[in-house]
Amino acid sequence: MTLYADLHRHLGGALHPRIIYKFLQKNDHPILSYFPDYDGFLSWFTRPCRTLEEFVKIHSLVEELQSLEHLPYFCLRLCRGAYTFENLQYMEIRYNPYFRTDKDLSEEKRLGQMTDIVETITANLRPAEYPITVKQILCLDRRLPHKINDAILKVAKDNLGPVVGIDLAGPEIEPEKWEDWVNFLASARSSGLKTTAHLGETGIDNVHPQFFTVLDRIGHGIHIPLERPEMLKELAKKQITLEVCPTSYKQTGVLKDLTQLKVVFERCRQAGVAIAVCTDNPGRNPAPCTLPGEYERLIDNDVIDFTDLKSVQTEAFRSAFGYPGGARS
């Protein structure tokens, strides 16, 4: 059996829609008044969006469901599904701990509750019967104030081990703030965390070269080879891996079809920039929403050749932040 590694998967977008729907039913959630049957929910939940902002709105709904009380339920299903149906041996799951705190609490209390969130997730990502290794990446968010992002970084540092990295997430707004983010990422690195950032996903404006001095990987980054291929030389020099999530670009309206990724893979190969194929939000993709499915779609669309498959799989393990024996661990 071939085993796989997924390095870019959001906790809020990782779960099969059936699991979310059953959870809503169990909790008699008011949103069910719009979706009396599963099929209606499924087509709403997995429909392609015109923009990333639109996509993120549904994501926020799931984040709110994943409260402290319910995290063990979601974590168990996430791990066993990834191992059983996708043959994942290693997974890095990313999330924003602040978005899972209780909204009714004061901001100070919410910041304090982030520690409980991370500890609860850590305790529930080790299901005894499923031999999968799951590490965590905490997400800073471009929409949040400095103080909250600072607190997220601190929780990540305090939980180094189960938490292996920091990500910068949220829609690609306010490119002029690059220096703040570079400072956050540099601080993360200096305390032993690895770094990645959602960058160059929807456009090139946020891709400031200073990011390359503080990043181990880039979430997506596809607009670098598409629009500024001359930057690839620097990525290769710094050994920065791109996390490419094919179906996600169709769901968020970034690409019309996957053949557009051909040039991404070709230019990266020529420049010596590594690519790890990942899923991003597999629960939001139309079925089959699995990592092996993403590989298959790349072959179907002539983005990669079947003979490339082994090296693509190996790259994910090599670029992992916490894979035992991996080059970056």
Task: Give the residues lining the site for Zn ion (CB under 5 A).
Answer: 280
The amino acid present at 288, given as its one-letter code, is P
In the block, which residue shows the tokens 């990592």? 291
- Which residue has the CB atom at the shortest distance from Zn ion? 280
- CB distance 192 to 223 below 8 Å: no
- CB distance 163 to 137 below 8 Å: yes
Shortest CB 40 distance to Zn ion, Å: 26
Shortest CB 167 distance to Zn ion, Å: 8
Shortest CB 53 distance to Zn ion, Å: 14
Closer Cβ to Zn ion, 216 or 280, answer by number:
280
Shortest CB 289 distance to Zn ion, Å: 14
- CB distance 249 to 281 below 8 Å: no
Closer Cβ to Zn ion, 167 or 315, answer by number:
167
- Give me 259's structure tokens: 């053949």
Shortest CB 227 distance to Zn ion, Å: 19
Closer Cβ to Zn ion, 45 or 111, answer by number:
45
Strands (E), the chain: 4-10, 88-95, 133-141, 163-169, 194-195, 198-199, 217-220, 241-244, 275-277
- CB distance 243 to 268 below 8 Å: no
Query: What's the rounded Cα separation, in Å, for the pair 240 and 254?
Result: 22
Closer Cβ to Zn ion, 20 or 111, answer by number:
20
